[in-house]
Every structure is written in structure tokens, then in C-alpha cells.
Amino acid sequence: MSVGTDIPGPHDATVAGPTQAAVRLRPSRHERWLSLWGPPFLVLLAVTGVWYGVSYLLLDVDRRFLLPPPHDVLQVAFLDRYNLADLLDGLWLSTRVAFLGFAVAIVIGVALAIAMSQARWIERSLYPYAVMTQTIPILAMVPLFGLWFGYGFPSRTLVVVIFAIFPIIASTLFGLQSVQREHHDLFTLHGANRFTRLWKLQFPAALPAVFTGLRIAAGLAVIGAIVGDTFFRQGEAGIGILIDRYQSRLQSEQMVAAILLSSLLGIVVFWFFGFLAKRVVGSWHESAGDAGP
Amino acid sequence: MLREMRNPVLTFDGMSKRFADGTVALAGVDLSVASGEFVGVVGPSGCGKSTLLRIVSGLTAASEGKVMVDTDKIGYVFQDPTLLPWRTVQANVELLAELGDLPKQERRRRANEAIELVGLSDFARHHPRALSGGMRMRVSLARSLTLQPELFLFDEPFGALDEITRERLNDELLQLFLTQQFTALFVTHSVTEAVFVSKRVVVMSGRPGRVVGDFPVPFEYPRAPRLRFDEEFAHLAGEVSACLRGERRRPSQPSPPPRPVEGIAHR
């Protein structure tokens, strides 16, 4: 019995393969743009549709303040000069707090991770306390920080540091320890000292993991800035204080706008670190962050 | 023509290795490798072949017996090419010279030379992930060559490669052996590979490993790929395999120095 000739043989595959692959790999710019931005845009449309549905179909006029429709939010919060100025000032303050806290968290977090990677006893001594930054009821600590350090910039920054530091420590440490034994052997054989090993082997090897940690931590830093702000309820108004204020005044359009802005900030920093990861480790590491949406 | 007697580069005398957990990896290994020799080491997995190399290189210390290594210019090729993925081929090959604090120009010169030797000049600016397994191994070889080692340790370097690539790399390795003048201790689990590349094949027993056979390989270098299909080659490989299976034991050679064997060409 002859094996059916209609079964595609390797020859067919090689003919069909590259052509199809070429079509798939080289879509036009327009197609690429569409495939990149199309799906998230569709989701945005759907969410806006649901939003309108809730505002107009679920809520009657008296209760529409619970979720004002999108165009009201746009009108009241973004097209009104004074309201917009309040929001942007708050956003600017929260952004500064988030960035400074994040920067401090990176410096301290990476330094702690490097220290832990150098000796087991350091890791054993410090790691439990690093975990504590995650388990500590931070909201309960916030009033204490206020009492200790005041309600200004420093204590808000401190809240951000505590929010953001753990993923940085954990992922950096993981990255530094992920180096294969053979690579260590190679460096040992050629007499590399601790610093050379760290600088030329462990640190570059850790970069992909570090960037993963930074992306997570960046989002947490934004949340930390807003949470700290919300709970201080005093001092210069960041996004958190604004949200609190709008809530008490039932200014729900501005409140929704403030929430939108803060999540936008989170998305922007998340993207930024994805982009940075791609630039720094994309040439050699496959799982480097995707800069797309 | 008789092979000239050369000084041993490496001697084990009743060498044993016991790990902290009590595992005895090597028990009473006697072996000597003369300068310019290419010694293949075969043995069942877990017999301590890799440990043997780690002891020669100084990565691990022997527990008992004597180990004499007469050079500090040792090249070590692992089964994994151990390239640094963030470095280009050029930068990877320069690594060891860099760790040895050689001046930048000298590193570059040696790296270029080594890359040329393994035929990868066109790929110097590529990252390892763009290379095939065989090419990565060539980069790894080139990296070791930059230090002009006198003793080369190979830990199943081609074990993870397909047969065609492996045979091609065997040929290339022998080319390097003939032109670069090093001594080689080549660990492999492939009897054919060991016989093809080596001047002498040493067979180790299962754990705890010791030397149970020592076979001179009477074929001249350079060796043509078709040697693998030669009758005499097959016969020798069969003998080594039998010894490996414990069917026939030949006492290990009282070395150093290695026994003179007729008909072996000098390097």
C-alpha cells in the first residue's frame, strides 16, 4: 500500500512555510499599528459603553452622581480650567512623590539585594524584614509616620518606599542568585574577585529580573503615593487628598477624573519601564518587557 | 618511529574524592598525562569524570592521594558553552583575557585570532542567542584559546549537540590540537568520539570511579572523518565498550610516562 500522496510532505511544507511566515512576519505599517492599538481601543470602547449603560440605564437621575457619564466627567473635570488646574497640581505633586519614593526604593532595594547576595547570613538576617514591608498594615502606620515626620513630602515619600521596595529586593536578589554554577566556576577559574563577579556576571544576569521587579514596583509606587496622600488628609493636596475631598463634597465627576489620572500615571510608568527593559536587555533576553500596550 | 618521552603535565597518584555528604566519587585514581597527549576519558554516568576535571582545574580539592599539575595555563570547556548572553561573540571571547587584566589591544588581537581559528569572524558582533548550538561551542573554544592554554580540559563539550555537528566539531578540535600544541583531557560518554579524537582512551568504572582500562589509539593525526568507519577503529571501539561494560578489564598503565606505541605520529 502506498502512503497517500496527498499528505503534505516536507517539500510542500518548505514551500508553504516561508511564504506564509513572510506574510505573517511582514505586515504593513498600517496593519501593525492596527494590531497594536486596535484591541485595547476596542476594550476602551466597550468599557465606555458599559459606563454609559450604568449611568443612564441603571442609575436614575437622582442617583446618577454615583457614576456620572463620561462626557460629564470630561466637561466638569477636564474642560473647566480651575478644576483641571487643581487636578494637574495634585497629579504633579503625587508624581513627584511617587518618583522620588521609587528612586529611593530602587537605591535601597538594589543595595540590600546585593548585600544579601553576598552572604547567606546577611540574607537570613534581612529578608524577613523585607517581607515585613509587605505584611505590615501600612494604613495603620500612615498616621504614625504623620506624627513622626510630619505630613509633608518626606513622610509621603517614605510611604512610597515601603510600598515599592519589596518587589525590587525580591526580584533583584532572585536575579543575582540565578547565575548558573558553570558561570560561577568560569569566573572562579580565572581568579575573578567578588566585585568583578558581581559587576561582570551577576549584575548583568540579574537585569531582566530587576526590570520585572521595577515594573511591578513602579505601579506600587503610584498607588503608595496616592494612599499615603489619602490618609494624611493634610498638607499640600496630591491626587489622594483631592479624591478624598471630592468624595466628601460628592463631586463625583472630579473624583472619577482623579482616579483616571492616577491610573494613567501608573500605566505610563509601567510602560516606561517596559520600554527601558526592551532597550537595555532586549537585544539578548527574550522575555524582556514588551513596550506595547 | 617511537614517540618521544615527554614530561607528564598531569599526574594522579591514588587520588580519591569524598564529598561532604559522604559520597565517594573517585577511589584511588592513578593516571598520568604527558605533555602533548590527547587523552579521552570514558565512563558510565556518575563515575566522577567531571569531578576529575574539577580537581585538575583546582575548582575542587582531592580528599586523598596526590595530584600534580605542571601548568597553570589551563583551559576548561564545559558541556554548556557558558557564554554570557548579554555579550557579543567578540566580547565573550575577550572575557578571560579581560579577567586576566590583559591590555585592551592585546585582548582584541587574541580574540580576533581565536574567532578566526574557529571560523566565526562573520559572527563576531552577534549575541549568543542568534547562534546555533555548535557555533556557541566554537565560541566557547575560542574563548579558552585566547589564554593559549597548555592543558585543555573538556567536560563532554559536544554531548548536547546532534551527531553531524558533533563529528564536525571533533574534526575541528583535532585541527586545533595539531596547530595549537596543547595537552588535552577529554571527558565524553561516547566511545566513538573518545577513540576518534584521542591518542589514548582511559576507561573509568562506575562510582566510585577509578581507572579500569587504558587503550592506546594507533591512528595517526590528522585523522580523516572516514576513519570512524574503519575496521580497526570499530574493533578498538568495541574493546573500549566491552571494558566499559566490565566484560574485559585491562589493567591501567603504570604511568607516567605513557607507553611508547609503534606507529603513532609525532606532533
Cell reading at B70: 605542571
State the Cα–Cα distance between residues B169 and B140, nearest whole angstrom.
Answer: 12
Same domain, B240 and B166: yes
- Mean pLDDT, residues A117-134 taken together: 88
Same domain, B8 and B39: yes
Is pLDDT above 90 for A172? yes
- Mean pLDDT, residues A112-120 taken together: 92
- Mean pLDDT, residues A53-66 taken together: 86
Q: CATH number, domain at B222?
A: 3.40.50.300
* Cross-strand partners of B214: B202
What pLDDT does residue A115 have?
Answer: 93
pLDDT band at A49 (very low <50, low <70, confident <90, very high): very high
Among the partner residues A188, A192, A284, nearest to B86 by beta-carbon distance:
A284
Edge-to-edge strands of the sheet including B8-18? B24-34, B8-18, B64-69
What average pLDDT does chain B have?
84
Interchain contact A181–B (C-beta under 8 A): no
Q: How many CA atoms lie within 13 A of A225 on its CB side?
A: 31
Among the partner residues A186, A192, A285, nearest to B85 by beta-carbon distance:
A285
* Binding-face residues of A in 207-226 toward B, CB within 8 A: 207
When mean pLDDT is compared over A38-47, A225-234, B165-174, the highest value belongs to A38-47
* Binding-face residues of B in 70-99 toward A, CB within 8 A: 74, 76, 78, 80, 82, 84-86, 95-96, 98-99
Interchain contact A192–B (C-beta under 8 A): yes
Interchain contact A195–B (C-beta under 8 A): no
What pLDDT does residue B109 have?
Answer: 92
Q: How far is B67 from chain A (nearest CA, A)?
A: 17
- Mean pLDDT, residues B71-87 taken together: 90
State the Cα–Cα distance between residues A166 and A170, nearest whole angstrom.
Answer: 6
Inspect the interface and report whether the beta carbons of B78 and A204 lie closer than 8 Å. no
Over the stretch A79-108, which tens digit does the pLDDT of each residue have?
Answer: 888 888 888 998 998 899 999 999 999 999
Same domain, B172 and B251: yes
Question: pTM above 0.90?
Answer: no
> Which residue, B220, B243, B110, is CA-closest to B174?
B220
Over the stretch A150-159, which tens digit does the pLDDT of each residue have?
Answer: 877 888 889 8
- Mean pLDDT, residues B78-94 taken together: 93
What pLDDT does residue A130 have?
Answer: 86
- Mean pLDDT, residues B241-261 taken together: 58
pLDDT band at A9 (very low <50, low <70, confident <90, very high): very low
- The ipTM estimated for the assembled molecules is 0.83
Query: Given B148, B176, B197, which residue is the final one in a domain?
Result: B148
What pLDDT does residue B127 have?
Answer: 92
Is pLDDT above 60 for A22? no
In B159-197, which positions are buried (b, 16+ CB within 10 angstroms) versus exposed (e)?
A: eebeeebbbebbebbbebbeeeebbbbbbbbbbbbbbbb
Interchain contact B129–A (C-beta under 8 A): yes
Mention every residue, 6+ apart, whose C-beta is less than 8 A from residue B209.
B25, B26, B27, B29, B43, B47, B48, B49, B51, B52
- Mean pLDDT, residues A272-292 taken together: 74
The third-level CATH classification (topology) of the domain covering A68-281 is: MetI-like fold (1.10.3720)
Same domain, B159 and B188: yes
Interchain contact A186–B (C-beta under 8 A): yes
State the Cα–Cα distance between residues B226 and A157, nearest whole angstrom.
Answer: 73
Over the stretch A214-249, which tens digit does the pLDDT of each residue have?
Answer: 999 998 999 888 888 887 777 778 888 888 888 888
What pLDDT does residue A25 have?
Answer: 63
Same domain, B135 and B165: no
What pLDDT does residue B259 have?
Answer: 42
Chain A, chain B: beta-carbon pairs less than 8 Å apart: 50
| Residue B204 structural domain | 1-72+151-267
Same domain, B55 and B175: yes
Is pLDDT above 60 for B76? yes
**Residue of B88, B99, B127, B152 to mutate, testing the A interface (most A Cβ within 10 Å of its Cβ):** B99
- Mean pLDDT, residues A21-32 taken together: 69
- Mean pLDDT, residues A8-26 taken together: 47
